[in-house]
Amino acid sequence: MIRINLLPPEYRKVERTPIGFFVAFLIAVVLAFLGVLYTFFMHIQLRNSERKVQQKRQMVENLKKQVQDLDELRKQVSEFSRRQRIIMTIRAMRIYWSRKLSLMGNLTPPNIWLTKMDMNQKDPVEKKEDLARARNGGTLQVTGYCRGTEYKPVANYRELLKKNRLFFYDFFQISPPGFERVKLPNVDPVESDAVKFTMTLELKPRLQFQPEE
């Protein structure tokens, strides 16, 4: 049977939206809003993360550059130290004869005078094991005179040279002098007595300098 409502519209019963549909619609709106809000929040978080990652990458690049600069600086310091060691080694191996002979002259007493020096300096050996086999690194032979007839002043002079570290540093021994009593020409006969002597100073053997590669 078909029912027809003949009441005027103002007297008709208003049909309301079902409560279930309304609740479902409201939930859908809330979920959509939350979804948009979550998406916006994640977008912000993603941008922040990307910015932090970029900052970290920049920091890593800066650290790499600093490490490279530090390595380069270390290489320069190492090279400078190597060159300095070479210079110091060469200086230590070199014998400054002008200073040494000047010091020898200052150590010579007034009653002794030197007339001749013969130098025979050998080349450095190439290997450390050759140092033990080398008899010496050369010789400095000194000839001179001592006024009087006594040998003791010459012996004292020899000991004086040996005890002076600055002079004797490059030597390892002074052979006992050879003596000969002589008469000095063209002087007062009373003062013509003298002792002619010859001393041999033996140099330490030296190792040839080999720079580090």
Last residue of a domain, one of 53, 68, 94: 94
**Does residue 74 form part of some domain?**
yes
Count how many domains the chain has: 2
- C-alpha angle 106-107-110 in degrees, rounded to nearest 5: 85
Range of the domain at 47: 19-94
Judge whether residue 199 has pLDDT over 90.
yes
198 and 102 both lie in a single domain: yes
Last residue of a domain, one of 72, 94, 116: 94
Q: Which helix (H) or strand (E) holds 20?
A: helix 19-93
**Does residue 6 form part of some domain?**
no
**Full-model pTM:** 0.55
**Does residue 8 form part of some domain?**
no
Residue 32: predicted pLDDT:
82
69 and 161 both lie in a single domain: no
Helix, strand, or coil (residue 137): coil
- pLDDT band, very low/low/confident/very high, at 208 (cuts 50, 70, 90): low
CA distance 135 to 65: 56
CA distance 164 to 153: 17
Mean pLDDT confidence for 22-32: 78
- pLDDT band, very low/low/confident/very high, at 171 (cuts 50, 70, 90): very high
Mean pLDDT confidence for 29-50: 83
142 and 44 both lie in a single domain: no
Residue written as tokens 């080999």?
210
| 21-25, 47-51, 116-120, 136-140: the lowest-pLDDT one | 21-25
